[in-house]
């Protein structure tokens, strides 16, 4: 396996530069087991500090803190509603230097130069042109994947689907109580581009990885024998958009039974 890399030094392998915007998608179970096996305290704050070391004060970190309970009519409290997308998001929400974006379904914990810009966004649609997903496209943010595959973690694909328009998804409104930073409660409506369940389809993403590799958009590597990858989000847009428009490759949408 080679020499063990401590948590704070792992981001040095991500290919980050000063001033980068970086989106971290992760499943950290194996990472934390590796820490304990090597006598290191499994403190994910060290990983976050390592990212900060790499991108500096002019950089921005986005960590998903998604929660879908709002879709079930449950109240969203921006201060208390838990992250359902992994331990790293939970850790980020506990830090005073991170701030949560406002959308009750697809929120992010954000640190850095553009923290206020992102947390001030009031996008109604999860994947709207005025959302953090659009920010990641415009800034060509680097999406780092730690022990997770694109099929389950590359949420940006849904942003492309909404921007380009697809026949198998439609915007659906969800209304529920919303509690803001000051503790004020109101009834709000937000939307999400949901899959049309009346259409017999299965949505797949993973074949794009070969396209990304061929175009030099992504890089795969291992740290402490844990698979990781980094891709440039903005550069993936035209590749995904072309497929969304014609679906010739069936990479996005595959009809069941075919």
**For strand 142-146 and strand 21-26, is the pairing parallel, antiparallel, or unpaired?**
parallel
CA distances 164 to 130, 160, 189, 243, Å, are 15, 6, 23, 10
200 Cβ partners below 8 Å, 6+ apart?
255, 256, 257
- Of 127, 118, 129, 13, which is closest to residue 59 (Cα–Cα)? 118
At 255 the pLDDT is 56
Please check whether residue 209 is in contact with residue 150, taking contact to mean a CB–CB distance below 8 angstroms.
yes
What tokens were used for 61?
């970190």
Q: Render pLDDT for 194-238 as a digit per residue (tens, 0 to 9).
A: 987 766 666 666 578 888 999 999 999 999 999 999 999 999 999
Q: Which residues pair with 220 in a beta bridge?
A: 229
Please check whether residue 204 is in contact with residue 254, taking contact to mean a CB–CB distance below 8 angstroms.
yes
Q: Render pLDDT for 80-127 as a digit per residue (tens, 0 to 9).
A: 999 999 999 999 999 999 999 999 999 999 999 999 999 999 999 999
Q: What is the average pLDDT across 150-163?
A: 88
Length of the chain: 258
Q: Does 12 score more than 80 pLDDT?
A: yes
Q: Does 257 score more than 50 pLDDT?
A: no
Q: Render pLDDT for 37-88 as a digit per residue (tens, 0 to 9).
A: 999 999 999 999 999 999 999 999 999 999 999 999 999 999 999 999 999 9
Q: Which residues pair with 227 in a beta bridge?
A: 222
At 59 the pLDDT is 98
**Coil, helix or strand at residue 113:** coil
**For strand 60-64 and strand 108-112, is the pairing parallel, antiparallel, or unpaired?**
antiparallel
Estimate the crossing angle of helix 233-246 against helix 156-164, to 10 degrees.
50
Measured between alpha carbons, how far is 113 from 126 in angstroms, rounded to an integer?
22
At 178 the pLDDT is 98
Please check whether residue 13 is in contact with residue 223, taking contact to mean a CB–CB distance below 8 angstroms.
yes
At 152 the pLDDT is 76
**H or E, element range at 96:** none
């Amino acid at each position: 396996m080679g020499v063990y890399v401590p948590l704070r030094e792992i981001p040095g392998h991500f290919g980050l530069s000063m001033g980068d915007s970086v989106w971290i998608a992760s499943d950290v179970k194996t990472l934390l087991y590796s820490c304990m096996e090597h006598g290191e305290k499994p403190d994910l704050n060290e990983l976050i500090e390592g990212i900060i070391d790499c991108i500096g004060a002019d950089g921005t970190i986005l960590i998903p803190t998604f929660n879908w309970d709002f879709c079930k009519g449950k109240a969203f409290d921006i201060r208390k509603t838990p992250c359902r997308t992994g331990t790293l998001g939970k850790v980020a929400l506990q830090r005073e230097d991170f701030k949560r974006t406002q959308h009750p379904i697809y929120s992010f914990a954000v640190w850095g130069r553009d923290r206020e810009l992102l947390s001030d966004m009031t996008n109604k649609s999860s994947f709207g042109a005025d959302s953090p997903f659009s920010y990641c496209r415009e800034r060509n943010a680097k999406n780092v994947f730690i022990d997770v595959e694109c099929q389950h973690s590359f949420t940006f694909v849904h942003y492309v689907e909404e921007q380009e328009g697809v026949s198998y998804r439609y915007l659906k409104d969800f209304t529920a109580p919303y509690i803001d930073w000051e503790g004020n409660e109101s009834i709000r409506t937000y939307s999400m581009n949901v899959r049309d369940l009346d259409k017999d389809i299965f949505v797949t993403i993973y074949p794009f990885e070969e396209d990304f590799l061929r175009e030099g958009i992504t890089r795969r590597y291992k740290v402490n024998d844990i698979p990781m990858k980094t891709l440039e989000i903005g550069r993936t847009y035209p590749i995904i958009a072309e497929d969304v428009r014609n679906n010739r490759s069936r990479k996005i949408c595959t009809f069941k039974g075919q």
